[in-house]
Amino acid sequence: MAAGTVQSLAALLQRATIDDHEEVLKSCNAALKKSKTDIHAQHVKAVALLKLDRYEDCLRVIEEGGDALKQRASLEYAYALYKVGKLSEALDVAAKLCTGRGARHVEAQAAYRAEDFLRTADIYNDLYSDKASIGNEENDLRINSWATDAQLQWKGQTHAARNKRPTREDLESFEITYNAACGSLARGELSQGELLLNRAKELCKTSEDLTPEEKDAELLPIAVQQLYVLIRQGKLEEAEDLMKEISLSEISELSTRKIAQNNIILAKPPTNPYLLYKAFHETPSATNNDKLFDFQNNALVANSYAANLLVQKYDGVIRSTRKALAQRPCPSVLPSDNVLSVYNAAAHAQDQTGHKGLKEVLPLLERRPKDVGLVLTVVQLYVAAGNATSAIITLENFLRSLEESIAEQDQDIRFNPGLLSALIALYKLEGRKTQIRFELAKAAGHWRQRPNPPAMLLRAAGASLLHSSDPSDLAMSAELFTNLHNQDPNDQYAAAGYVASHAETDLAKAEALLEKLPSVEDLVSEIDVAALEEAGIPQSAASVAATAAVLAGARKRPAAEKQGAAKKRVRKSRLPKDYDPNKTPDPERWLPLRDRSTYRPKGKKGKQRAAERTQGGIVHEKAEEAAAAAPATQQQKAQGGGGGASSKKKKKGKR
């Protein structure tokens, strides 16, 4: 290294202070004018640019410095990539080039923004387990671990979350309390989430570690989340009061501002759809490292298309969704893909539902038969129209086409738990218990050959197969519950299924586990039997109507108890003129005159016809031959004769 470079670097470091990064940057630029390849000056310049939040400039400096600078400033390189939103590259650099706990933190942050929450949770768990090196990171690790677990639950990966119920120590930090509240909301526990958010707000207000400006910045996201909870609970009056605390202009993060604006519109939507459309699109979309997570973005995309449909932008929605769908895989079970299909169908239907909506949507299904979102939309329209059979046929045809495919991805989608749940729900509407058991057995057979099978689906399959009389079904149920119990010995549902499935085949195994199950007395200890008996058995509308009909019938007097049969009253207009109520009517009055027993024909021809109709009378052969020939003659006339004979009658006259 040249002596001048060493002296300039020494002068640079002497002038560097924590609040004077601009001066450091000027000194770096002066040193680099003398020697463009001064790797020490380049490194310090990259750090100064990071301190000034100039992440793109920092990234450019490191990339221009070549591989040597990337290796030397690998941590800064990974962090700059993370901040500009190049998450996959940041993960790659942090995992391969960086070493130490700082690199692991950057890798965890990049994985978190990339929504690889399982990887994030593993990294934080490893960092937390190293007690010797944890230093003053413990509180930050706990906060980030709770945030990761909340995201896992929003993502539907609840089984991987390590923290679900906060301890007393956790509730002393407003950050952890807020993250715990988000986890409760992800599980659908709105009341619990509301309580935790209120506590987080109070802890933030009374915190001695934050300045008033920092408190205001931290309270805004909490208020936005509270607004979401109040809307979900239908507490719109409280939501309007809370809206006064939220100032959109003071929210620095575009993603949080976008969510806040959406919740405010939902809490008090404008009556004019065009004003609603304008308000929804006032905040621009977030970019780089401030982007929304998938579950947030899906909701906002759906609301955006809904606002477009309210102002009748049908053609625009059709074009944009069609263009986006052309770039997505098909079939796909991702919500971000299927929401496009739903609004594409809605735009084609133009606010029409029922049979009119189906008439517009069914041609789309013929062109895109493997579009999951479109198939479910058609199924929903059929169900709304009360046609569950057609809904079942549509879904069965779709699943059959996937089952016939040779692509492994199509097979996984065929037995997707969500699609299977929809089919089973439709089967339940029509009471098809055999089909339910058959579908669950097929799905269990498929997922047993895959790593990390969905436990809830295997539970449902095992419970359904327990009701079968087929020995093979019972054997599969026993195998499913055995695997579930081995994976999680503390799972009471799996343990109960294990006992039930082995009770008839291997009683010793069932008895060994039976003692670990809670007793019946413990399960019903908190049930008030007297209150249940007093309340009675709840009945459906059909059963209530049937019971009322039975009771009404019981109050009627049977025919035997009546003193006399009520005579039917006949109106005078229907009686003949010579009607005499004292005379008994002729019982044969409804028969033709010649069929009555009192009929006597008059004259020679009449007596002859009466004799011919008499059983055992004289048979005339010529009469029979004439009768047999009559149908043939009539048939020939009906056919119009044969050959080219004329149908005109000949005039009478001399030949």
pLDDT, tens digit, for every residue of 348-369? 999 888 888 999 999 999 999 9
Domain boundaries in the chain? 312-431, 452-519
Q: What is the pLDDT of residue 653?
A: 47
Residue matched to tokens 């939507």: 269
Q: What is the pLDDT of residue 540?
A: 59
Would you state the structure tokens that stand for residue 217, as one six-digit string?
């910045």
Structural fold of domain 312-431: 1.25.40
| Band (565; pLDDT cuts 50, 70, 90) | low
Q: What is the pLDDT of residue 323?
A: 92
Q: What is the pLDDT of residue 559?
A: 52
pLDDT of residue 558 exceeding 60, the answer is: no
For residues 74 and 482, what is the distance between their CA atoms, to the nearest angstrom?
48
Structure-model confidence comparison of residues 410 and 15, the more confident one:
410
Q: What is the pLDDT of residue 307?
A: 92
How confident is the model over 287-309, as pLDDT tens digits? 767 788 888 888 899 999 999 99
What's the 3-state SS for 583-612?
A: CCCCCCCCCCHHHCCCCCCCCHHHHHHHHH
The CB-side HSE value for 367 (13 A sphere, CA atoms) comes to 10
pLDDT of residue 97 exceeding 50, the answer is: yes
The mean pLDDT of 247-258, rounded to a whole number, is 85
For residues 507 and 519, what is the distance between their CA atoms, to the nearest angstrom?
18
Beta carbons of 601 and 609 less than 8 angstroms apart: yes
Q: What is the pLDDT of residue 380?
A: 92
Q: What is the pLDDT of residue 637?
A: 44
For the entire predicted model, the pTM comes to 0.68
Percent of the chain scoring above 70 in pLDDT: 83
The set of residues, in sequence order, having a beta carbon less than 8 Å from that of 203 and lying 6+ positions away, is 172, 173, 174, 177
For the chain, what is the mean pLDDT? 81
The mean pLDDT of 628-647, rounded to a whole number, is 47
Which of 126-135, 318-327, 567-576 has maximum average pLDDT?
318-327
Whole-angstrom CA distances from 115 to 157, 258, 302, 402 are 12, 20, 20, 28
pLDDT of residue 441 exceeding 90, the answer is: no
| Band (651; pLDDT cuts 50, 70, 90) | very low
| Band (491; pLDDT cuts 50, 70, 90) | confident
Cis peptide bond upstream of 331, omega within 30: yes
Percent of the chain scoring above 90 in pLDDT: 21
The mean pLDDT of 620-631, rounded to a whole number, is 51
Q: What is the pLDDT of residue 195?
A: 93
